[in-house]
Structure 1
Amino acid sequence: MKKRVTLTFPRTAIQIPITYRLAKDFNVAANIIRAQVAPDRMGKLVVELQGDIDRIDEAIEWMRMQSISVSSASGEIVIDEESCVDCGLCTGVCPTEALILEPQTFKLKFRRSHCIVCEQCVPTCPVGAISTNL
């Protein structure tokens, strides 16, 4: 079973070795999709948890007991095709090549099946044509 979640850490929980504890204590693999963590500040991780559903639920409950906010990250990237100017800036930051420029037309193509919703493209778009649908 896979489950994508967003973890928000208060300053007091930043030093907890989350991925180690998930693997060691719960046998849950955590694939980090996006991370914004700095010492003595609030942190945020988007992770895909993989393992037995009961163990994932136990791990989520343990994280909540550590004052870590856990929310579902089931959103997806949305592109406003009327606003998009096909500049291609988003293609340079997309780690999975979900966003590409068609070689013949130089039009932006979004391959949703490749997207991991890392959201790196959202702030890159100069005209704000890319957003998330959460």
Structure 2
Amino acid sequence: MKKRVTLTFSQSLIQMPITYRLAKDFNVAANIIRAQVTPNQVGTLVLELSGVVDELEGAIEWMRSQSIGVTLAKNEIMIDENSCVDCGLCTGVCPTQALVLDPDTFRLKFLQLRCVVCEQCIPTCPVQAISTNL
């Protein structure tokens, strides 16, 4: 099973080896989608966690017990096809290749099953055709 989560942690927890502990103690794989970790500030990680359901739940409970904020991702990326100009800028920042240009038509294709909702494409779109379904 996979879950997308956003972790928020205080400056005192920045040095904690979170992904190592997830793998070693819970047998949960953590794919880092986006990270903003700056010394002496709050850190944010967007992760895709993979593992057995019980182990995932145990890992999430452990993180919360360590005062790590855990938010489960429920949003989906939406593309306004009427606004999109198929420029392809979003394809360059998509870490999972969920956004690709069709080589035959040069039109943007969105492969939703690959999307991990990291939201890196949203600020990249020059015409603001990409958003989440908040």
TM-score band w.r.t. shorter chain: 0.7 to 0.9
Tell me the amino acid that sits aligned with residue 69 of structure 1. Answer: G
Correspondence for 2:75: 75
Q: Say if 2:130 is the partner of 1:133.
A: no
Root-mean-square deviation (CA), in Å?
1.7
Q: Say if 2:34 is the partner of 1:29.
A: no
Q: Is the 8 A contact 2:4 2:49 kept in 1?
A: yes
Q: How far is the alpha carbon of 1:96 from its aligned partner?
A: 2.7
**CA separation in 1, counterparts of 2:24 and 2:50?**
13
**CA separation in 2, counterparts of 1:26 and 1:74?**
23
Q: How far is the alpha carbon of 1:3 from its aligned partner?
A: 1.9
Q: How many residue pairs align between the two structures?
A: 134
Distance 1:91 1:52, change over 3 A: closer
Q: Say if 2:29 is the partner of 1:4.
A: no
For structure 1, which runs of at least 5 residues remain unmatched after alignment? Answer: none
SS of match in other structure, 2:57 = helix
Correspondence for 1:51: 51
**CA separation in 2, counterparts of 1:3 and 1:114?**
13
Render the CA deviation track for 1:77-122: whole Å, top value 9, x for unaligned. Answer: 1111122122211122223322222334322221212322222211
**CA separation in 2, counterparts of 1:97 and 1:60?**
27
Structure 1 stretch 103-112 or stretch 2-11: which is displaced more? 103-112
- TM (norm. structure 1) is 0.87
Q: Say if 2:124 is the partner of 1:124.
A: yes
**CA separation in 1, counterparts of 2:88 and 2:34?**
21
Correspondence for 2:15: 15
- TM (norm. structure 2) is 0.87
